[in-house]
Chains A and B, each alone.
Chain A
Amino acid sequence: MMKKKLEEIQMKPLGEAAITVQFGTEINSFINKKVKALATKLQHESFSGFIECTPAFASVTIFFDPFIVKQAYGKIGKSSFQIVQAILERMLETLVEEEESTPRIVDIPVCYGGDFGPDLDFVAGHNHLSTDEVIHLHASAEYPVYMIGFAPGFPYLGGLSEKINAPRRPSPRTSIPAGSVGIAGSQTGVYPISTPGGWQLIGRTPMALFRPDRDLPSLLSAGDIVKFVPITVEEFEQYQERVQ
């Protein structure tokens, strides 16, 4: 049951207009399921002043308008943070995790190394491996999508082999091309749009992960399984031509 585990859940302010509910400090599907359950619940039973929520690996951050919260529930004589905290605590007590369904598997073609993956050598060197070994390890795993965040459609993936972990760059690059595939710590992901970022880049996909014209603007959703399929530069170019 959720209830007896409530004390393990932490709530902390992110400024005066947001609160983060933290279910744990590690990446695992047990915690991630709770994250998804709370985010889903908030979509269905929100409260006055609720703006939106951002689910992450092990947390859900709830954005609210303190003025509206205070107006709606202010008679309790508490701060808006305390009010939202109380509402969330009540929600957590009755949180039901969703039934397991068969996850969708999405193949993402990636051209590794070269100009597309300028940090492939660094990741290999850092782990005392050859670049081919890094590519093989990266492309042979199945990656569950834990969250979409950081940039439109950007998937945070679990399941990266410990053998190819690499620290973030000391300072983020000011611009990273769309489609870049990177590693940061024990995480791997794909940059859907050109943006600054601090991940170590090992390759690039020609596939569009952010589709603003669709109802669901993100190709991937939390719960999907991603598989990376190595392709050559020629295949990369052919794919791009086909899309255009």
Chain B
Amino acid sequence: MSVQIIRPGLLATIQDLGRYGFQQYGVVVGGAMDSFSLRFANVLVGNEEGEAAIEVTMMGTSLQFEEDTLISITGGNLNPVIDGSPVPLWRPVFVKKDAVLSFAGCKVGCRAYIAVAGGFSIPNVMNSKSTYIRGEIGGFKGRALKEGDVIPLAEENSFSMKAKRALQKKLKHNSFAAADWYVPFERYVNGKVVRVLKGAEFEEFSELAQKQFFEQEFQITPHSDRMGYRLSGPSLQLKRPFELLSEAVANGTIQVPSDGNPIVLLADRQTTGGYPRIGQIATVDLPIMAQMKPGDHIRFKEITLHEAEQLYIEREKEMKQIQTALLLKEWSFE
């Protein structure tokens, strides 16, 4: 079984939860920009949550299924259609052999995830299938997907086989059949406000900059990619200039070079950085940031460490609940 890329669109890559354990060698973590959506795409087809999936960016991607396949699409709503009919998101979908899935363009957000039952059969590079384009490693031949690429699929699991049989029965004239249930998590990846903890150097910024950061709106500039987003808005100035020793940064670190325009570091961020850090995005709101596209506006809302941790834990509990619910769904397919 395999998936063939008909058109890669703006950017389509294979991603999982990232490459961990190698930051000490400077190796970028990478992985899905919106890892929350990737995890759900996987569990909806019975995969381990960290399995590799295709990350589709904005528009134009189109792919064909060689055999009957169980898939799910999560993340931003990029208007996915299968053989011309709109496909619902956040649920398992049975796709008939030879059907073509394409993404017409952004309705909400800018990155969608396509998981296939069993995952993709591609090699691990440093414990991960994530594509790191700049380093030319991982994913499918260390690069973005191209026209004509044929990506082999791995063995299916019992959930997907049962779901496939159950959904196949519902198949009518369309070339796909979607489950009549879904996970209501679109709200977790869409938004205009991102919650942020004060960064390590927050107090080094002028009082004006501290106020501006939480009160004014910023815009995502075209100089934005998987590595990070450059923002425009009020120029954030330090009380006095200083050089910092390079230190680790994390997904969602907001650093400010001396031109005053903040940069949000994302999936393909460097492991360490030397610019003052004004903020750190709460993990639960990283999907919202990752779904932003150039031109979008964003506001930062202050959150405490305690609140961010509570939200993180609640979100993980919710994840576990869904996994239990899906286990029960598997039995109800019988």
Q: Which residues of B contact A168 (CB under 8 A)?
A: 243, 257-258, 274
- Taking a contact as CB atoms under 8 Å apart, the answer to whether A153 and B26 are in contact is yes
- Taking a contact as CB atoms under 8 Å apart, the answer to whether B126 and A80 are in contact is no
Interface size class of B (residues with CB under 8 A): 35 or more
- Inter-chain residue pair count (beta carbon < 8 A): 167
- Taking a contact as CB atoms under 8 Å apart, the answer to whether A152 and B283 are in contact is no
Instruction: Give A234 to B297 CA distance when docked, in angstroms.
Output: 50
Q: Given A148-B25, A212-B125 in contact, is the A14-B248 Cβ separation under 8 Å?
A: yes
Q: Which residues of B contact A13 (CB under 8 A)?
A: 197, 280, 305
Taking the nearest CB of chain A, how far is it from the CB of B302, in angstroms? 13
Interface centre among A13, A149, A170 (most CB of B within 10 A): A149
Taking the complex as formed, is B41 at the interface, i.e. its CB lies under 8 A from any CB of chain A?
Answer: no
Taking the nearest CB of chain A, how far is it from the CB of B306, in angstroms? 6
Q: Which residues of B contact A61 (CB under 8 A)?
A: 247-248, 250
Instruction: Give A167 to B307 CA distance when docked, in angstroms.
Output: 38
- Taking a contact as CB atoms under 8 Å apart, the answer to whether A149 and B248 are in contact is yes
Quick one: which of A18, A149, A174 contacts B246, CB cutoff 8 A? Answer: A149
Taking the complex as formed, is A154 at the interface, i.e. its CB lies under 8 A from any CB of chain B?
Answer: yes
Instruction: Give A215 to B280 CA distance when docked, in angstroms.
Output: 33
Residues of B283-297 whose CB lies within 8 A of A: 283
Stretch at the interface among B15-23, B53-61, B324-332: B15-23
Residues of B91-121 whose CB lies within 8 A of A: none
Q: Which residues of A contact B272 (CB under 8 A)?
A: 54, 56, 147, 149-150, 156
Taking the complex as formed, is B167 at the interface, i.e. its CB lies under 8 A from any CB of chain A?
Answer: no
- Taking a contact as CB atoms under 8 Å apart, the answer to whether A195 and B270 are in contact is yes
Instruction: Give A174 to B225 CA distance when docked, in angstroms.
Output: 11
- Taking a contact as CB atoms under 8 Å apart, the answer to whether B253 and A14 are in contact is yes
Instruction: Rank and list the top 3 A-B pairs by shortest CB-CB distance, nearest first.
Output: A61-B248, A149-B272, A67-B316
Could you pull out 25 A-B pairs where Cβ atoms are within 8 angstroms? A13-B280, A13-B305, A14-B280, A15-B282, A16-B283, A16-B305, A27-B245, A52-B23, A58-B245, A61-B247, A63-B20, A66-B312, A67-B316, A79-B309, A152-B26, A152-B135, A153-B26, A168-B258, A171-B259, A185-B243, A186-B243, A196-B227, A212-B125, A212-B137, A218-B25
Residues of B at the A interface (CB closer than 8 Å) are 20-28, 125-126, 134-137, 197, 200, 223, 227, 243, 245-250, 252-253, 257-259, 261, 270-275, 280-283, 305-306, 308-309, 312-313, 316-317
Residues of A at the B interface (CB closer than 8 Å) are 12-18, 20, 22, 25-27, 39, 51-59, 61, 63, 66-67, 70, 79-81, 147-154, 156, 167-168, 170-172, 174, 184-187, 192-196, 198, 210, 212, 216-218
